[in-house]
Amino acid sequence: MSTETLLVEIGTEELPPKDLKTLGLAFRDGLLKGLAERDLAHGDARWFATPRRLAVLVEEVAEAAPSR
């Protein structure tokens, strides 16, 4: 099955720097939960955060869920 790299980035209002780790991890975890609920296999996921952006990069995301 083919895979792709997925990058999801959102722009935000100014986020408190002390909360960036918590928000970045929550964003990553929510995205991975959504992939799991749709049976989409994936590789490693990394999160990135600045006061005005949150992003998650997921490697090797399956292009489609397996047939049931």
Q: What is the pTM of this model?
A: 0.91
Q: What would the mean pLDDT of 42-56 be, rounded to a whole number?
A: 98
The pLDDT of residue 68 = 75
Beta bridge partners of 61: 4
State residue 15's pLDDT score. 97
Burial (Cβ within 10 Å: 0-12, 13-18, ≥19) of residue 54:
buried
pLDDT digits (tens, 9 = 90+) for 34-44: 999 999 999 99
Domains of the chain by residue range: 3-62
